[in-house]
Amino acid sequence: MRGPHNIWRLIRTGATLERTGAMGVVLEAFRAPPRLRLVARILGWPFKWLGHEGDPAHPPLTRALTALGPAYIKFGQILSTRPDVVGDDLALQLRLLQDRLPPFPTADARRVIEQELELPVEALFSEFSEPVAAASIAQVHYARRADTGEEVAVKVLRPGILRAFRKDIDAFYFAASMIEFLSPSSRRLRPREVIAHFEGVVMGELDLRLEASASAEFAANTAQDAGFRVPRADWMLSGRQVMTMSWVDGVPLGDNAALDAAGHDRPAIAARVLQLFLLHALRDGYFHADMHQGNLKVAPNGDVVALDFGIMGRIDQYTRRVYAEILYGFIRKDYRRVAEVHFEAGYVPADRDIDEFARALRSVGEPIFGMDATRISMARLLNYLFEVTERFGMETRTELILLQRTMVVVEGVARSLDPHINIWKVSQPVVEGYIRDHIGPRAMLRDLAETGRVLSRFGPRLPQMVEIMLRRQMHDPIPVIVERRRTPVLWMAAGAALTAAGVWLGTLI
């Protein structure tokens, strides 16, 4: 239950950070001001003895996050992709959270499989290994199907993971409520709505049937994408707590030394990862929303292989166009158009000055345009972006959280592969291709065709709908009953014309 009892959970969080030595690491990484450092120490030190000890073999922050639970580990996974924010050493330490967490016993995994698939493990698999990777929610075992001999990866949820996540999220809700109460200015960031969005995403991740479905859809969308591969889900050997997929050999994307030893071109892979994300987000409106290094491999032939489809993002056609226009405006340095798009989409309140907003955007874009990643301080940039959003009253758009978060993660992954990557230059071909195909005369014709198709389906009912609206406008008390035989010939002709127009435009586009 969400309530004051969660104060204990939050106190224990601070105490764990203090006990493991992670408090100072966090404050230093985020360049906390002296006043905040003092308050954090005062609140954390007296309760230090209440904190979890964690595994002393791990570095302080990794030790603290693994002790606190899966929701905290998720946060650490995001930070692990941002060495430009937390520093190279800390980011490297946090990569342990991606797929090298302590596994749970294989006996427990076997028990879950047999409970879920209702057959002994020996009847399903001729080989079943110890865990080959363990993350916050599940672990993976190498196996070989007993009937076909096919090599597969078997993903099994951690026992008790649902209860653990609910407890963490419960505390997060309480913290968000306290933040809104103590800092009214934070309400524009919608802390509770952000937590609700996070809860929905995570709860979907805890049903592996949904992940199997996501992988199948993602594979269908990307089947023709060169240099990219999605493993095939095995529906017969999957359930809520178990998912079986085809086995993939490859080098983890976070192991630069292994990538170099295998002869892979890291700058080319970095560019491909960034372009693939943009392509999937803009073209399909359906993208992998957890693209940290632990979920990506490079196959022996150089293909990028995506894994773990528990968190997927979806954006509608209109949002894709807005997103593309914003990126395109930055690429062309057309900050006035970027500002207009923000106002048109309602991202900035209409009572703000559009020219002032365009000037603020220029101050964001100009210092980083054309520079390689090593010359950009992402920490300072993010801090300034926060100031801009506060100044112009911009609220958090919960429908864009996954898109924005994934963009930050993917850009961090690309940086880790190629520190000198120019994100604008790499993004330009994908964004320009989308703009060319989806914004302009051709897109307008396609939209008209789709509108015609939709209207044509309602052609026979249009007279009735119009008459109902007219009578409501005139406050006519007479019941509206329109029989098919009384439908005017003119309306029938209009419906037929719309149908024909829709079909004709569809053949052209």
Please give the positions annotated as active site: 290
Residue 407, class by beta-carbon neighbours within 10 Å (0-12 exposed, 13-18 middle, 19+ buried)? buried
Distance CA 198, CA 426 (A): 30
Amino acid at 185: S
Distance CA 422, CA 370 (A): 7
Structure tokens at 323: 């997103």
Write the CB contacts of 268 (distance below 8 Å, at least 6 apart in sequence). Answer: none
Distance CA 502, CA 492 (A): 15
Q: Are 296 and 450 in contact (CB under 8 A)?
A: no
Write the CB contacts of 263 (distance below 8 Å, at least 6 apart in sequence). Answer: none
Per-position DSSP letters for 199-253, written without gaps between them: HHHHHHHT-HHHHHHHHHHHHHHTTT-TTEE-PPEEGGG--SSEEEEE----EET
Distance set, CA 438 to CA 284, 324, 428 (Å): 12, 10, 15
For the beta carbon of residue 122, count every other beta carbon within 10 angstroms.
11
Of 63, 70, 52, 244, whose CA–CA distance to 161 is shortest? 70
